[in-house]
Structure 1
């Protein structure tokens, strides 16, 4: 029983109600201006709700949009492979530190391949070199060499060509979040991390309860961490709006509900369905067991929410802690999220060494080859996670899209980058593919059914006539 939803049904309904179209338009116009992507606009679409349209012509391979993350996370298992800024997801440290950390965890028998095993998701801190590690890889290097890399005591040749920002610790001293700049640290703290930090300066109700919530998410589904970020983000926006209102000493009273709705506005824009209703049925679940599966998913969300409430509950924002809201937040991510991918500078480094003139390449490889051999195929692992991007999420699907998410050489953080696949005319809708558009028609339709629609793009209309 969701007592919050029952007691605050009006507030919950107001949070889930669609915004007036004028407010939606104003919000997206402001976003477009802030991102300096004035070649596009978001318009209401009779068949798909809303869509992104070209205000001017785009050429093939031209940048259409760089969209900043509203909320995003690096997958927990990926943290053993990549040390990145916890806010913008840019690689930090040094090439040596990146390689050293990776080898340290590999020597411990840990990797970032998340297959649900207990040891795959590892809590890490900034002092790995102080721990001992056993070697289980025949190409492993001595621990003292690995430690020297992480400590900055050993320099590899030509790493000065790949400078990375020095890691800055979390303001709350959790030793789990690191940043590329004071700006990223401050922004993350003020927008969500102050409530979700496990350090001594955390503003959470209970660090112990927060730790239990995080452990549950790591053991089950880290999409719960995104939901927690969203709720923390809204609570902190609400508190800021309330403080601003009090400081202005406004003569006209403003209700708690109106402040909460304003704080929630960036989240309200995303298309939502309850997670347990929209999640795709796994291949190993028989259709006759679908009801039991969806109840299991709902119970899982309920357990996660109870742990989160024990950690960051705010009475003035109580409606955010209803199972209905929690389910819709997670469902929004299930339906709208984009993979978060940032290429590794370690891969670029070894490719650079490989492209050196023979005379200097041989000398450099005498030093770098043992490290490359010890890393194996994992030398090129990139930062991986998931994120919600407010403008990108408005782009509708087509099996013959005219744009795609594609990181260029210069794109070194977590922003979504959308590139034109072909010439896009003025006033034409900008579309991307949510799935592998090369799949057969029936497979495409089955996958898209999980998103709640049947595709009627030109390719599907043609394929349906011969299917």
Structure 2
């Protein structure tokens, strides 16, 4: 049974074992779970904010990705309305007085605990020693090259790889640290080319080698010397592509959720709802759909959960940080496999052909879940959304 950094729930209630030859490992229930039960909670082995997200002033804790702006600050930035005042400020949970930063590079954290954990695990290696960072520092160059070769929306982060390496460099037992990353599903050589192509785009396929000199200069670690080659870095991007989980945090969404829970009279409720509706209209006009502090993370247990187009569980982030909860969407019986959806809310409603296309390009497998089997005789045509995108691309 796989051990993990489970923060609540009992690890004895689930186990990781081989699901079948096709899927490999899976997570199985060792007891019955009711709908809405939290099956397990887990902190990431490593997580990192997307560089473009950070560049555009989405302020997040460098260790746990908790949003550092107050709800009002975030709303003002996203809407570009500097005079905006949010009602019911008590609904904002951000505690600015608890925020701390690295005294050298000014990397920000939501708490002293996060700062201490980061320093212990990886930040001593990644600290660039001054603020603003010297643009000639190898890590600063690494970030600049990545931003210029992988524009938004990002699908991976070079800093996730940097933190993986830094954790190994700082680890008292480097073999144990390497083992933490060796557990993840590996793609074949051909599959790695496919997933790297998807992550970086065809026009950037050759540019990945530009990262290597700066990665070597900044973070060279003999324990994982094979990572510092062209094939090695592609393998790391493939690992992230096939195992990574997107993370999004927002102090504004927490504020709105808390506003929804307020006990208000009818008139006050109507005024508040109209205010929030208009706020999101203003935000959509200014910032589009990019509302959250966004990044990616690797988890021991969550990464073992297989996909289904009719999942019996879902991934949530109840604490507005990178700690993940897997929650039952329906009653789950003992020995039943716990499956989540790798697809977004919109994508899971698309045609079988469209779903399979997305899963092949991003996760390198063909889905054989109950829903896909029931639709196997459907015509191999994409959903209307995909057809519209194809028409736009051809124009």
Q: What TM-score results when the alignment is normalised by the length of structure 2? A: 0.77
Equivalent residue number for residue 462 of structure 1: 374
Deviation at 1:181, TM superposition (A): 0.9
1:269 matched residue in structure 2: 183
Give the Cα–Cα distance (whole angstroms) in 1 for the partners of residues 271 and 354 of structure 2. 52
SS state of the match for residue 401, structure 1? coil
Shift of 1:35: 6.6
Counterparts of 2:377 and 2:269, CA distance in 1: 57
Shift of 1:394: 0.4
Residues 289-368 of structure 1: matches in 2 within 5 Å? Answer: 293=202, 297=205, 299-315=206-222, 318-345=225-252, 348-349=255-256, 352=259, 356-357=264-265
* Deviation at residue 225 of structure 1 after TM alignment: 1.9
Structure 1 residues 18-56: Cα deviation after superposition (integer angstroms, max 9, x where no partner): xxxxxxx4xx23545887443211112332221100011
- Please give the per-residue CA displacement for 1:136-157, whole angstroms capped at 9, x wherever unaligned: xxxx44xxx58xxxxxxxx865
Q: Equivalents in 2 of 1:441, 1:316: separation in Å? A: 43
**Are the equivalent residues in 1 in contact too, given 2:68–2:251 (CA < 8 A)?**
no
1:353: Cα distance to partner?
8.9
Residue from 383, 397, 403 that aligns with 2:307: 397
Match status 1:236 vs 2:188: no
Q: C-alpha displacement at 1:325, in angstroms? A: 2.9
Between the aligned partners of 2:339 and 2:157, the Cα distance in structure 1 is: 25
Task: After superposition, give the CA deviation of every residue in 1:312-362 in whole Å (9 maximum; x if it has no partner).
Answer: 224565344233332222111111111102243366259839974467679
1:215 aligns with 2:144: yes
Is the Cα–Cα contact under 8 Å of residues 91 and 258 in structure 2 kept in the other structure?
Answer: no
| Structure 2, unaligned runs of 5 or more | 151-155, 380-395
Q: Does 1:71 align with 2:46?
A: yes
Is residue 444 from structure 1 mapped to residue 355 from structure 2 by the alignment? yes
- The Cα of 1:87 is off from its aligned counterpart by 1.1
Q: In the alignment, is the contact (CA less than 8 A) between 1:171 and 1:201 conserved in 2?
A: no
Task: Provide closer, same or farther for how the CA distance between residues 370 and 404 of structure 1 changes in structure 2, counting only shifts above 3 A.
Answer: closer
Q: 1:320 to 1:442 in 2, by over 3 A?
A: closer
1:395, 1:431 within 8 Å by CA — same for their partners in 2?
A: yes
Are residues 456 and 184 of structure 1, via their aligned partners in 2, closer, same or farther at CA, if it must alter by over 3 Å? same
**Matching residue within 112, 117, 121 for 1:187:** 117
Q: 2:329 aligns with which of 414, 418, 421?
A: 421
Contact 2:100–2:110 (Cα < 8 Å) also in 1: no
Aligned to 2:319: 411
C-alpha separation in 1, matches of 2:24 and 2:42 = 20
Q: Of the candidates 88, 105, 119, which is equivalent to residue 174 of structure 1?
A: 105
Cα distance change on mapping 1:449 and 1:196 into 2, 3 Å: same
Deviation at 1:397, TM superposition (A): 1.5
Rounded Cα–Cα distance in structure 2 between residues aligned with 1:316 and 1:165: 40
* Secondary structure of 1:340 counterpart: strand
- Normalised to the residue count of structure 1, the TM-score between the two structures is 0.66
Match of 1:278 in 2: 194
How many angstroms does 1:439 deviate by? 2.1
Q: Structure 1 36/89 Cα, relative in aligned 2: closer, same or farther at 3 Å?
A: farther
Aligned partner of 1:94 in structure 2 is: 70
How far apart in 2 are the matches of 1:375 and 1:442?
A: 34
- Cα 1:339–1:178, aligned 2, differ >3 Å: closer, same or farther? same
2:16 aligned with 1:42, yes or no? yes
Report deviation, 1:379. 10
Q: Post-superposition shift, 1:220?
A: 2.1
- RMSD (Å), alpha carbons: 3.8
Unmatched tracts of structure 1, length 5 or more: 1-24, 107-139, 147-154, 242-259, 286-292
